[in-house]
Amino acid sequence: MSEKPQTSNQTSTKKILLSFEYRDTRMGGFDDTILISFRSGKLITSRLHTSRSGHHGTRQYALLPAKYLMYTVRRSNLGNTYISVKIIEVNENGETKILQEWQLYEGKRQKMQLTQLPRNIAEILMANKDELPLFYYVDQQPE
């Protein structure tokens, strides 16, 4: 008597791989993208692949289709800094759609206070502030 393999009627959701540029020139220049789960409010685990020097690379995320909070920072060697927060949606086909976006810091000045963001987004950012690069640029009072 042979047993038949069990089949499941559930469809397994395949993880989608998203990659973002990473750069740390050690002379001021810096680029990074951090994804945060809306459901848990925690940072999504990523893999950072860098060149031998460690100055350039790619940050990769393996994601399920869902909505995520994306925290993106860019700083030139001269110190011009750009920090944005986006709500993105990743679908089953791996397509990413930006649902909302806020510019927090641009060039040499703060564009938006954390208190101007929707409360749930500001709370998620504050809960993870120690792990978000260059967060001190946006976690300050206006002059």
Flag whether 143 is in a domain.
no
pLDDT tens sequence across 55-65:
899 999 999 99
Flag whether 8 is in a domain.
no
Flag whether 88 is in a domain.
yes
Give yes or no for a contact between 131 and 36, defined as CB atoms under 8 angstroms apart.
Answer: no
Tell whether pTM > 0.85.
yes
Q: What are the beta bridge partners of residue 81?
A: 75, 107
Give the number of domains in the chain: 1
Residue 53, domain extent: 16-136
User: Which residue type occupies 38?
Assistant: F
State percent of the chain over pLDDT 90: 78
DSSP per-residue letters across 25-44: -SSS-EEEEEEEETTT-SBP
Mean pLDDT, the chain, rounded, equals 89
pLDDT band at 94 (very low <50, low <70, confident <90, very high): confident
Domain of residue 95, CATH code: 2.60.40
Flag whether 71 is in a domain.
yes
Distance CA 104, CA 114 (A): 8
Stretch among 1-5, 97-101, 111-115, 136-140 having the lowest mean pLDDT: 1-5
pLDDT tens sequence across 5-56:
444 444 567 899 999 999 999 888 999 999 999 999 999 999 999 998 888 9
Residue 132, helix vs strand vs coil: coil
Predicted pLDDT at 1: 44
